Amino acid sequence: MKTEFIESINKSITNKTFVKLTLSRPKNKTELKNVYCKLSFIKQKLHLTFVFRYLTKDITKNFLIDEAILQLEQIIGEVFFEGHLFTIEKDITIQFFRNKASVIKDKKASFSEQLPLGHDREKNRLISTDDNIYLKDLSVLTTKGEVRKDKTDKFKQINKFVELVAPFFEKLDKTQSIKIIDMGSGKGYLTFALYDYLVNNQKINISLRGIEQRENLVALCNALAEKSKFNNLKFESGQIKTVKIQEIDVLIALHACDTATDDAIFRGIQAEASIIIVAPCCQKQLRNQIKPTNALKSILKYGILKERQSELLTDGLRAMILESYGYKTNVFEFIQTEHTPKNIMIVGVKKQTNDTNKEKILDQIKQIKSLYNIEYHYLERLFENN
């Protein structure tokens, strides 16, 4: 009976009539309740995805079809005493009893068509895990090329970053080499990913400089760039304020702390970068200046609200200052806060037409500062002093 049931599963997959499979009535009354199986297309290969459902969590495992059949042979009738196979031809149920032989029952099909193939995570990843040297060396992937459990959020952040910024590169002249500088590149997670996507996926000719003041990280990243054969990716020691910038097309500064984000924006505008991309962090500069004398005072007496208002004002004024210098600016969520609290991104794209009413924008900034009794924004001071 068991062999017949497993053969039915295999046949339904081969004949493309398989819908789903559930296994229940576990032998041991533990936290494992049942298993749900569905077809998935992963890395261009058909898999059977097992979702092991526990009382407090689900664990998902993917197996190639031959491996999946072996798994089913080990658990059907041994770990689970009941199975339900759903196909577009019929439903098949198998039951095992301690003192009786197994029983197979056929019923009218519950489904008239196959379910969509399981969500192919690889399909929606812009950064592939296949033979990915830098993600392995940066400990995002295991030696087998699987995402480490403790690096799942980092991997999502990497892919989301590339997904968000890639469309902006469509606005650039790709007949020439695009010059990019990444301020405060750190260990280079996002720097490597962006280079990988633009060069290997989009076939865009770029040169990318990562600027990082910690020399050990500079050495690490240069060695990894060489190992990955990323020939036009170089890292150098320097600081955002003082690093030499020649002609650049794109300036990036991700999670530069507090006013370091302003330094990066300032350097980008000075260099007339076509695109400026920043993900601010630790917006503290305005916090102690916010002392409204109007009705806002009653709201901002609460510390947490004042802190959030400080972040909003800091980034809002940054966006407006960018606009005043001729950039079309977007502010949006980088990645959901469940993955990282540093989740705001500001992107400024230099406009081709000179239609910016700078005086109007500066007057609006002045009114906002007056409303909150703010003396100055650090980014303003950078332009005033230079």
pLDDT digits (tens, 9 = 90+) for 50-60: 999 887 778 88
Mean pLDDT, the chain, as a whole number? 90
Q: How far apart are CA 235 and CA 225, in angstroms?
A: 9
Residue 194 and residue 162 in contact, taking contact as beta carbons nearer than 8 Å: yes
How large is the average pLDDT for residues 282-286? 90
pLDDT value at 343 more than 80: no
pLDDT value at 115 more than 80: no
pLDDT value at 169 more than 60: yes
Q: How far apart are CA 274 and CA 351, in angstroms?
A: 8
Tell me what pLDDT residue 267 has: 97
Q: Which of 6-15, 103-112, 129-138 is least confident?
A: 103-112
How large is the average pLDDT for residues 121-149? 85
How large is the average pLDDT for residues 166-186? 91
Q: How far apart are CA 229 and CA 246, in angstroms?
A: 25
pLDDT digits (tens, 9 = 90+) for 182-200: 999 999 999 999 999 999 9
Pairing between β-strand 206-212 and β-strand 178-183 as defined by DSSP bridges: parallel
The owner of tokens 């577009």 is: 88
Tell me what pLDDT residue 31 has: 74
Residues paired with 50 in a beta bridge:
37, 61
Q: Which of 49-58, 138-147, 246-255 is least confident?
A: 49-58
Q: Which pLDDT band holds residue 102 (cuts at 50, 70, 90)?
A: confident
Give ranges for CATH 3.40.50.150 in the chain.
Answer: 133-384
Amino acid at 368: I
pLDDT value at 358 more than 60: yes
Q: Identify the residue with better confidence: 369 or 341.
A: 369
pLDDT value at 347 more than 70: yes
Residue 235 and residue 225 in contact, taking contact as beta carbons nearer than 8 Å: yes
What Rg, from alpha-carbon coordinates, does the chain have?
28
Pairing between β-strand 80-87 and β-strand 32-42 as defined by DSSP bridges: unpaired
pLDDT value at 105 more than 90: no
227: which 2 tokens?
């190992």
3-state SS record for the chain = CHHHHHHHHHHHHHCCCEEEEEEEEECCCCCEEEEEEEEEEECCEEEEEEEEEECCCEEEEEEEHHHHHHHHHHHECCCEEEEEEEECCEEEEEECCCCCCCEEEEEECCCCCCCCCECCCCCCCCCCCCCCHHHHHCCCECCCCCECHHHHHHHHHHHHHHHHHHHHHHHCCCCCCEEEEEECCCCCHHHHHHHHHHHHHCCCCEEEEEEECCHHHHHHHHHHHHHCCCCCEEEEECCCCCCCCCCCCEEEEEEEECCHHHHHHHHHHHCCCCEEEEEEECCCCCHHHCCCCCCHHHHCCCHHHHHHHHHHHHHHHHHHHHHHCCEEEEEEECCCCCCCCCCEEEEEEECCCCCCCHHHHHHHHHHHHHHHCCCCCHHHHHHHCC
Q: Which of 16-30, 190-204, 317-331 is least confident?
A: 16-30
Amino acid at 257: C
Tell me what pLDDT residue 228 has: 96
Tell me what pLDDT residue 149 has: 87
Residue 350 and residue 273 in contact, taking contact as beta carbons nearer than 8 Å: yes
Tell me what pLDDT residue 289 has: 94
Tell me what pLDDT residue 123 has: 46
Q: Identify the residue with better confidence: 205 or 123.
A: 205
pLDDT digits (tens, 9 = 90+) for 285-324: 999 999 999 999 999 999 999 999 999 999 999 999 999 9
Tell me what pLDDT residue 342 has: 53
pLDDT value at 234 more than 70: yes
pLDDT digits (tens, 9 = 90+) for 256-267: 899 999 999 999
Q: Which pLDDT band holds residue 118 (cuts at 50, 70, 90)?
A: low
Tell me what pLDDT residue 101 has: 63
Q: How far apart are CA 334 and CA 329, in angstroms?
A: 15
Tell me what pLDDT residue 43 has: 75
- Among residues 306, 192, 319, which one has the least CA distance to residue 261? 319
Q: Identify the residue with better confidence: 218 or 110.
A: 218
Residues paired with 222 in a beta bridge:
none
Tell me what pLDDT residue 338 has: 39
Tell me what pLDDT residue 337 has: 41
How large is the average pLDDT for residues 5-30? 90
Q: At the topology level of CATH, where does 133-384 sit?
A: Rossmann fold (3.40.50)
- Among residues 153, 160, 140, which one has the least CA distance to residue 340? 153
Tell me what pLDDT residue 93 has: 94
